[in-house]
A = this chain, B = another copy of it.
Amino acid sequence: MSTTYSKNDLASWERRYRANLLNKISGFKSAHLIGTQNEEGQTNLAIFNSVMHIGANPFYLGFILRPHSVERHTYENIKASGFYTLNAITSAIHQQAHQTSAKYERSQSEFAEVGLTEEFLTNFPAPFVKESPIKMGLSFVEEHPIKVNDTLLVIGQVEQLILPNEIIDSDGDIDLAQLDIVSILGLDSYYKTKRIGKYPYARP
């Protein structure tokens, strides 16, 4: 049995009930850890569920920053240094990844607090997550303040892509379920996945 809710109904819901439901109702999202460091070399690691594909050539990715959140350390470091990393989350590290959302002090590195290993590779000026099988190093290129609610779209270009090449098919296909990459629903629920179909370019 389906029910129709108006925007006024949504506004009248209890705050936590609304946040739980509406963060999930738009579906499964990718889960990434963003690694940054400040000018003193203090590292930061934060989980994001909003990484989006902007373009493949050049390769651009975006993500959404909420206003006034713990994620602000990430933003400040990106703006100051110009660089950040995106690290895919596997089932093996998803609990540690979730724990990065706690409000640690600026002097604490989430790497050490949650038990993940920071790794500096190929002279890239931001920390990667050693335990992640897909690592990307990005440079900041563009930001768009969202007028309606003060969130921010941040876009970067992928400068370095690190991945296990033996799982890439000859046509570039890759099945992330084989790497145990998880999907996230809302802010608290993690999912494993299984491919049910792959289809050719559709024609009328």
Kindly supply a per-residue 1/0 record for chain A positions 184-204, scoring 1 wherever the CB is within 8 Å of any chain B CB and 0 otherwise: 010011111111111111111
Most buried by B among A147, A172, A182: A172
**Which of the residues B30, B161, B171 comes within 8 Å of A29, measured between beta carbons?**
B30
SS of A interface (majority): mixed
Q: A64-B53, A203-B102 are in contact. Are A134 and B196 (CB under 8 A)?
A: no
Q: A2-B163, A94-B197 are in contact. Are A21 and B172 (CB under 8 A)?
A: yes
Interface residues in A, total, Cβ within 8 A: 113
- Chain B contacts of A146 at CB under 8 A? 54, 60, 62, 142, 144, 155
Q: Are B28 and A183 in contact (CB under 8 A)?
A: yes
Asked whether any CB of chain B lies closer than 8 Å to the CB of A69, the reply is no
Q: From A32, which residue of chain B is reached at the shortest CB distance?
A: B27
- Chain B contacts of A95 at CB under 8 A? 197, 199
Q: A4-B122, A193-B191 are in contact. Are A10 and B158 (CB under 8 A)?
A: yes
Q: A3-B163, A191-B194 are in contact. Are A172 and B29 (CB under 8 A)?
A: no
Q: Are A160 and B6 in contact (CB under 8 A)?
A: yes
Q: Are B30 and A27 in contact (CB under 8 A)?
A: yes
- Chain B contacts of A203 at CB under 8 A? 102-103
16 contacts between A and B (CB under 8 A): A3-B164, A7-B158, A21-B173, A27-B31, A28-B176, A52-B52, A52-B64, A54-B149, A58-B148, A91-B196, A104-B204, A144-B153, A183-B183, A183-B191, A185-B195, A188-B198
9 other A-B residue contacts (CB within 8 Å) besides A5-B162, A24-B176, A27-B183: A4-B121, A7-B59, A9-B161, A20-B174, A26-B52, A50-B52, A173-B189, A188-B199, A192-B196
5 residue pairs, one from A and one from B, having the closest CB atoms: A27-B30, A20-B172, A17-B172, A21-B172, A102-B202
